Amino acid sequence: MGLKEFFGGGDKPVAKHLDTKPKSMFPSAYDVAPPDGAKGWEQIYPYYTQFQTARRAEDDAKFWFCNSQHWPTPFRPFDTIMLDFAIKCLGQYNTRHLMVPPANGIEYRLLNGYVYFSPVAVEPEKIGPRVPQFLDRAGHYFGNWASLYANWQTKVKAAIKEMDGIKFEPLPEVVPVEWVKSGKGLDNTNELLEAYDHAITLCYKIWQYHFEFLNLGYAAYLDFFQFMKGQFPTIPDQAIAKMVQGVDSELFRPDDELKKLAHLAVQLGVDAALMTGTPEQALAAVGNLPNGAQWLAAWKGAQDPWFNFTSGNGFYSTDRYWIDHFDIPLGFMRDYIGRVKAGEKIERPTPALLKERDRITSEYRELMDAEAQAVFDGKLGLARTVFPYVEDHNFYIEHWALGVFWRKMRELSALLSHAGFWPEADGMFYLNRNEVRDVLWDYCFGWAAGASISGAAYWPVEIKRRGAIVKALASQPPIPALNNPPAVITEPFTIMLWGITSEAIQRWQGKDEKPGVISGMAAAPGTVEGIARVLRSPDQLGELKKGEILVTPVTAPSWAPVFGKIGAAVTDIGGMMSHAAIVCREYGLPAVTGTGTASSRIKTGQRLRVDGNTGTVTILS
Amino acid sequence: MTVTYTLPFNAIGTADHARVGGKCASLGQMTQAGVAVPPGFAVTTDAFQFMLDQHGLKDEIARHLEGLDPENAAQLDRVAQAIRQRIGSHHLPGAVEEAIRTAYTAFGSFPVAVRSSATAEDLPDASFAGQQDTYLWITGVSDVLDKVRDCWASLYTARAIAYRAKNNIANAGVLMSVGVQKMVNARAAGVAMTLDPSNGDRTRIVIDASWGLGETVVSGIVTPDNFTVEKVLEQILARKISDKHIELVGDAAAGAAIEREVEASRRNRQCLSDAEVLAVARLAKRLERQNKCPQDVEWAIDADLPDGENLMALQSRPETVWSQKKKDTPKLALATGMESIVNTLNNPRSTRL
């Protein structure tokens, strides 16, 4: 049953609860049927991700919201690893490291393949006692931010290097003779099994690093945010974000590198050679030109680390990274070459953005009295100190580190495919990470016994079955929330990143909506009219035409290269501090995020007016 | 200081403020600061003084006011009428007339607005001064001279006399200046406040605009288009387009501004483009910064000037309602540092559901 049916708008009767509880604002997870073709979906994911009937009373008493910002579509079973690790690590810092007084972690469940979150509050009597520990632990981080952050970068880069060094070798026909003669007494399976465990362990560590500073970054931002709202109750959220946001995040480097390469190509006269053919053909053509070698050296140099960049968000095994798919950066670069040749300025207006940021900051400051100004200076200073982490960590972790991780996993999947477990190279991703251990064992056993693997008789059919299920799950969009929202949400991520506020909840219920007008967050300023292009995946980015309005469930920072060509962006989800919102502001692209349903209500070809100042999208035709 | 009967706006310095009155001083200040203001000149209080000294007018006025009971409405009206009649019956002193004639010719003999420019203490707030404060679309020097004299006479409306009596301001020595300013051929005009008049929010600029001259907006006979602009981000946050059924336009032949109906196609059309709305907002913002306090600005878009250069400031005066209230609100205690972060986490205000 979808939301429409629940609110009594559809043909199917509203499912009745067995008890006499009053109707809740959103459905119960237990009353939402899976789509056709998805029967048995619950068993392809680990048991701890499921709503279980025995826990119904407990689960129905909680508010769950769908996180379609990070998980816009149902994922393959292996990808549960990212959900598990990310959300666990988010929680640990609130609950066990920093003792954030009112907030513990976030519980999660899957419902029909979509991810639902429920923040865990701290019991009121326990909040006070946590404060001294929070002051001590968080205080240490705020007080030593720069050095701790530098240390963090060292740790993360080391972990990435270590991950990169992992090798998956097929088991050989015979154990090397030197091992036998030296009395080693072990075979090649140890290395294979350890390599897999090593990769998983490193992925887990990298997620722990991901959250080391993030909660604090949001806490400092939230403090500044609330101070500004206290001084100016009507100040747009966007104004506060602009004062804090940096103008040069590492997230922008990949796009900046493409622009530099485009300019260089035109300067060296190799641009024409780049404009046609496959990446291999284009690069070969450049190599044949007099200045080709110079350009190719620059191209290679830019790749490490800046091509470790996904057009998705790093959470999906289907994500494509620039370094593995040169067609992606090449496509963007061809666009830039065209614009350079047409005399357009393609660089981000960084000096103008800085000037604008300083102007906005000083004008709001002028409107305050002297005491407030002193407080403003302190809080803004801290917010600006911590904010680079909020933006930059995304590149290091989701793009670079996870890019390496997925590459290693694809190598393993290919190896196992070769060994006969499944016909397609990426078959492994239909298994969850613990099932992979069983497959590795099957492989090792078969090798040791000199017998055939069991998996060949099992996995191909099972993978096909699971593939059909995942496809069926993706055919139905998610319900935005379950049960009743609480009076107050205290968990900082829930507020800042996912934008779960009373306005958002009203929007999900479809309240106060004028026909033809969709409202969301005024994420990035500007008003623009244009033709809508609804995209559901980054693979469709090439369909966008100049001046069109991108409408999609969620964008990613790596889509930035198209931001110069489109008129505006409209998304279903995304808070003011989501990476997408940050990047849109940075690129001067009007954006309305967190609309809830824009990508299902708007159709490609419709004429839209997008107002990034007020957060409204009007369907004109 | 030498006696001067007229001073062009671009020559009004701070030392001249006392003798050109509030309005002209403001126009002079704006002109000096490079704000686009229609050109014009002030007829100074020296000229009025000269007028009073001539023909014993000063003594006549004193005689009429002797024994006046300001509470006696009938007597008040009679006395006010008599004084104004006396003022109106005299020609301007020769030197004054000559000075005005010269100034008017020098700056182009355009149709002008003739406005009283008094110091605030001598007259009640402009909103009480009534229609006699301003004469629009005056053409030809003899009409200008007449209207200057009429402005002087407005010092002696019944209300003005009563006001001074109540506030113990001596009538002797009360002087007035008059502004003579080129009329704007207003395509659209109105007012802008550098705060939200409904709640004092200083991050907002609120603009009322309608077709033709701005007096229709000020007097309220038309419901204007209303725009709310965020002051720092310079974004239009809200707009309300109204049925603007009348406009006031200049009629050179009649030598006056006349009301006429707006044709159907224009009545509900937004009278300013978004770019113009932002230009008005920026003008108001600039004036607020120059005057160091919230402003109430009158502006007009001149149909005779090119886009981007056609926005004129006509008047800018301090906003008084909310600026006063601000001093009365108690200051909130502000938390800082880690303590504040703990408070924020424990009391997330923006998430109250």
Taking only the tens place, the pLDDT of each residue in A263-303 is: 999 999 999 999 999 999 999 999 999 999 999 999 999 99
Distance CA B231, CA A366 (A): 12
Domain of B106, CATH number, reads: 3.30.1490.20
B227 and B161 belong to one structural domain:
no
A581 has pLDDT over 80: no
For residue A527, give the nearest of B274, B270, B51 by alpha carbon. Answer: B274
CB contact under 8 A, A614 and B202: no
B59 has pLDDT over 70: yes
Distance CA B147, CA A534 (A): 66
B115 and B191 belong to one structural domain:
no
From residue A120, alpha-carbon distances to A46, A47, A87, A100, A130 in Å are: 21, 20, 12, 12, 15
Question: Which chain B residue shows the shortest CA-CA distance from A133?
Answer: B342
CB atoms within 10 A of CB A367: 15
Residue with tokens 């032949």: B253
Residues 447-506 of A with CB under 8 A from B: 485-490, 492, 494-495, 500-502, 505
Hey, what CATH class is A502-619 in? alpha beta
Which of B204, B344, B351 faces A223 most closely, judged by CB atoms? B344
For residue A571, give the nearest of A530, A522, A525, A620 by alpha carbon. Answer: A522
CB contact under 8 A, B353 and A501: yes
For residue A90, give the nearest of A361, A458, A492 by alpha carbon. Answer: A492
Report the relative pairing of strands B177-182 and B112-117 from DSSP bridges.
antiparallel
Contact present, B184 and B112 (Cβ < 8 Å): no
User: Which residues in chain B have their CB less than 8 angstroms from residue A490's CB?
Assistant: 345-346, 348, 351
Q: Is A128 near chain B, with CB under 8 Å?
A: no
Which pair of structure tokens corresponds to residue A549? 């309005």
Domain with CATH 3.50.30.10 in chain A: 502-619
**Is B341 part of a structural domain of the chain?**
no
Q: Is B254 near chain A, with CB under 8 Å?
A: no
Q: Could you say which of B164, B182, B200 is where a domain stops? A: B182
Three-class SS state of A534: strand
Peptide bond into A176 cis (omega under 30): no
Confidence of residue B301 (pLDDT cuts 50, 70, 90): very high
Averaged over B323-344, what is the pLDDT? 75
B72 and B142 belong to one structural domain:
yes
Q: Angle, to 10 degrees, between the axis of helix A214-231 and the axis of helix B337-346?
A: 90
B6: which strand partners?
B43
Residues B178, B184, B188, CA angle at the centre, nearest 5°?
Answer: 125
User: Which residues in chain B have their CB less than 8 angstroms from residue A234's CB?
Assistant: 201, 203-204
User: Which residues in chain B have their CB less than 8 angstroms from residue A488's CB?
Assistant: 348, 351-353
From residue B88, alpha-carbon distances to B45, B123, B154 in Å are: 17, 20, 11
Q: Could you say which of B182, B199, B226 is where a domain stops? A: B182
Averaged over B169-189, what is the pLDDT? 87
CB contact under 8 A, A505 and B352: no
A548 has pLDDT over 50: yes
B134 and B208 belong to one structural domain:
no
User: Which residues in chain A have their CB less than 8 angstroms from residue B340's CB?
Assistant: 223, 227, 379
B349: closest CA of chain A, how far (Å): 7
Distance CA A572, CA A574 (A): 7
B20 and B167 belong to one structural domain:
yes
User: Which residues in chain B have their CB less than 8 angstroms from residue A371's CB?
Assistant: 331, 334
From residue A445, alpha-carbon distances to A182, A325, A448, A452, B302 in Å are: 24, 35, 5, 9, 90
pLDDT at B343: 87
From residue B154, alpha-carbon distances to A73, B60, B133, B176, B284 in Å are: 76, 16, 7, 9, 30
Q: Within 13 Å, how many C-alpha atoms sit on residue B47's CB side?
A: 29
**Domain span including residue B80:** 6-182
User: Which residues in chain A have their CB less than 8 angstroms from residue B336's CB?
Assistant: 375, 378-379
Residues 551-590 of A with CB under 8 A from B: none
A500 has pLDDT over 50: yes
Residues 503-542 of A with CB under 8 A from B: 505, 525, 527
**Is B348 part of a structural domain of the chain?**
no
Domain of B226, CATH number, reads: 3.30.470.20
A611: which strand partners?
A527, A616
Distance CA B96, CA A295 (A): 81
Residues 364-403 of A with CB under 8 A from B: 364, 367, 369, 371-372, 375, 378-379
CB contact under 8 A, B340 and A223: yes
Q: Which stretches of A525-611 are DSSP H helices?
A: 560-563, 579-586, 598-601
Report the percentage of chain A scoring pLDDT > 90: 71
Confidence of residue A4 (pLDDT cuts 50, 70, 90): very low
CB contact under 8 A, B233 and A236: yes
**Is B122 part of a structural domain of the chain?**
yes
Q: Report phi then psi at A106, rounded to 5.
A: -130, 130
A64: which strand partners?
A482
Q: How many domains does chain B have?
A: 2
CB contact under 8 A, A222 and B232: no
The tens digit of pLDDT for each residue in A598-621 reads 888 899 999 999 999 888 999 998
What would the DSSP string read from start to end of B115-168? EEE--TTTS--HHHH-GGGEEEEE-SHHHHHHHHHHHHHGGGSHHHHHHHHHTT
B322 and B201 belong to one structural domain:
yes
The tens digit of pLDDT for each residue in A164-201 reads 999 999 999 999 999 999 999 999 999 999 999 999 99
Q: Is A139 near chain B, with CB under 8 Å?
A: yes
Residues A594, A597, A603, CA angle at the centre, nearest 5°?
Answer: 120
Averaged over B7-24, what is the pLDDT? 87
Report the percentage of chain B scoring pLDDT > 90: 50
Amino acid at B110: F
Q: Is A221 near chain B, with CB under 8 Å?
A: no
pLDDT at A502: 67
Residues 6+ apart with CB under 8 A from B70: B76, B161, B162, B165, B166
Task: Quote the pTM value.
Answer: 0.81
CB atoms within 10 A of CB B293: 13
